[in-house]
Amino acid sequence: MNFNVVVLAAGRGKRMRSKTPKILHEALGMPMLQHVINAVKPLNPAKTVVVIGNGAESVKQRMAVEGHLSFVVQRQLLGTGDALSVARKELKKGAILVLNGDCPLITTKTLRTLIQKHKRSRNALSFLVFRDSSQAGYGRILRDENGWVAGIVEDKHATPEQKAKFQELNGGVYILEAEVLKHLESIKRNRTSGEYYLTDIIGIAARNRKKVEAYLCSPEEIRGVNNREELFEVADILRKRIVKKWMSRGVTFINPDASFVSPMAHIGQDTIIYPNTYLEGATKIGDNCIIFPGTRINDSVIGNDVTIKDNTLIEQSRIGSGSSIGPFAHLRPHTVTGRGVKIGNFVETKKSTLGDGTKASHLSYIGDAVISRNVNIGAGTITCNYDGKNKFKTVVESGVFIGSDSQLVAPVRIGKGAYVAAGSTVTKDVPAGSLAITRVKQQNLTGWVKKKKSRVKS
Ligand code: UD1
Ligand code: CA
């Protein structure tokens, strides 16, 4: 079917009490609007138009990655009916699938089913409804004595009788054929709110004997977000959905209620995820990994058989298979490790590569460094990469042993198999196979303590 999509996303979102446009508020680290776009994309619509208004520029910027979207600006926020009128001018011929931008739970599958039912029944207008007596603020579907859809009344305008009698709630997802669209112009401004309600088109179409049909859908798919409480509820439904999916694919969650997994993340089989862990963005975790509590991994790729110990932060990095990271490690962007690497307690890395089998087990800062294979970086080693103005590179060739508490003042290169004695400050390149030692020679003053004490007494 040739059809267009319109996403209504111009609203103020007053009930959010926020300076950020409502549809940019995130569920699982992704704007609500992006969730809706992701559900729509696989349907291959002829055109997808997003109606923006409040915070239009920031919405455009945030959604810039979605190059296929067209944006139209609704100058005055006069309601959902007005929003669709504004979009209509931009549309190609064919039916229109309209969605509210604040319903991030909607799935492609449900939209596809709606489109199929709409087509098969040759409806002029089809839309999704749900039942959930715990919810308020939704439009109610009015039905005539024969059970046909007769219209929608908004919650705030519904009489107690209507509320008691009509339990179906409007999900805000509609397909409209051209024969119904023309009735957009007949929508009247609501006297109390001053808005043009898109929902009024349902009653108008019904009165004009158009075939209007409402399809029941799960509340887990259609809940809208108008305030922060609903944002949490919807995000939690999404979170559970994603965690369940990974459990069904062979991932263990010690406490599924306490793990956050981004919709873009991927987790391999037999990986075990402890509570209070955050897998953000397009993070990819391999098979057989263990992610211990308090870990946050953002946009990173973790190989197979990796252990990430407690309270570790990994950002935009790649970890080779069989490595062990943490506890309390901070891998800043562009850390890349080979296989079987160990990065231990209180080690910070940044823009550095560590070759296969290299170990930095305790208390180090490794920045702007290229460290080759099987290097041992002793406790307290620091790459001094910054002179206050510029950053310099440290190169450590394979098999090097850096003694504890050493400073490598960049730019500097430590040759293959070299040793740096503990406590050295290395300012010059170290040739392969040599020992660099820069500390003062030790003297032992025998009997010094006794002499000092007798001096104090006299
Ligand atoms: C709307 C429906 C309601 C339905 C509910 C489902 C109307 C009148 N009511 O109510 O029947 O149960 O959604 O979630 O449509 N928007 C614009 N321009 C505007 C006003 C709103 O683009 O001038 C956008 C908003 O950004 C939002 C969507 O339209 O994404 C819905 O608006 P909102 O104010 O949230 O409507 P609800 O009161 O939730
Ligand atoms: Ca809403």
Span 212-246, pLDDT tens digits = 999 999 999 999 999 999 999 999 999 999 999 99
195: domain range?
A: 3-216
Model confidence at 92: pLDDT above 90: no
For residue 226, the ligand 1 atom closest to its alpha carbon is: 35
Instruction: State how far the Cα of 319 lies from the Cα of 296, in Å rounded to an integer.
Output: 14
The reply to whether 186 and 45 lie within a common domain is yes
The mean pLDDT of 63-74, rounded to a whole number, is 96
Do the Cβ atoms of 338 and 373 come closer than 8 Å?
yes
Residue 416: CB atoms within 10 Å: 13
Annotated active-site residue 362? The verdict is yes
Instruction: State how far the Cα of 30 lies from the Cα of 424, in Å rounded to an integer.
Output: 47
Residue 197, domain CATH: 3.90.550.10
Do the Cβ atoms of 364 and 394 come closer than 8 Å?
no
For residue 223, the ligand 1 atom closest to its alpha carbon is: 14
The reply to whether 279 and 315 lie within a common domain is yes
Do the Cβ atoms of 406 and 423 come closer than 8 Å?
yes
The mean pLDDT of 38-62, rounded to a whole number, is 97
Instruction: State how far the Cα of 285 lies from the Cα of 146, in Å rounded to an integer.
Output: 55
The reply to whether 96 and 122 lie within a common domain is yes
Q: How far is CA 5 from CA 44, 267, 287, 355, in A?
A: 10, 32, 39, 49
Q: Is residue 421 part of a domain?
A: yes
The residue type found at 177 is E
Q: Is residue 450 part of a domain?
A: no
CA 171 to centroid of ligand 2, rounded, Å: 9
Q: How far is CA 449 from CA 84, 238, 441, 443, 458, in A?
A: 89, 69, 20, 14, 15
Instruction: State how far the Cα of 356 lies from the Cα of 337, in Å rounded to an integer.
Output: 7
- So what's the pLDDT on residue 1? 67
The reply to whether 248 and 177 lie within a common domain is no
> Could you give the angle at the alpha carbon of 149 between the alpha carbons of 213 and 183, nearest 5°?
80
CA 436 to centroid of ligand 2, rounded, Å: 68
The reply to whether 356 and 323 lie within a common domain is yes
pTM greater than 0.85: yes
The reply to whether 276 and 371 lie within a common domain is yes
The reply to whether 396 and 281 lie within a common domain is yes
Q: Is residue 449 part of a domain?
A: no
Total count of domains within the chain:
2
The reply to whether 17 and 56 lie within a common domain is yes
The reply to whether 68 and 14 lie within a common domain is yes
By alpha-carbon position, which residue is closest to atom 20 of ligand 1? 79
For residue 224, the ligand 1 atom closest to its alpha carbon is: 14
The reply to whether 16 and 100 lie within a common domain is yes
Q: Is residue 442 part of a domain?
A: no
Q: Is residue 238 part of a domain?
A: yes
By alpha-carbon position, which residue is closest to atom 36 of ligand 1? 80
- DSSP states of 203-233: HHHHHTT--EEEEE--HHHH----SHHHHHH
- So what's the pLDDT on residue 456? 79
Model confidence at 12: pLDDT above 90: no
Residue 282, domain CATH: 2.160.10.10
> Could you give the angle at the alpha carbon of 358 between the alpha carbons of 352 and 364, nearest 5°?
60
Instruction: State how far the Cα of 440 lies from the Cα of 419, in Å rounded to an integer.
Output: 17
Model confidence at 457: pLDDT above 80: no
3-state secondary structure of 268: coil
Q: Is residue 445 part of a domain?
A: no
The residue type found at 285 is I
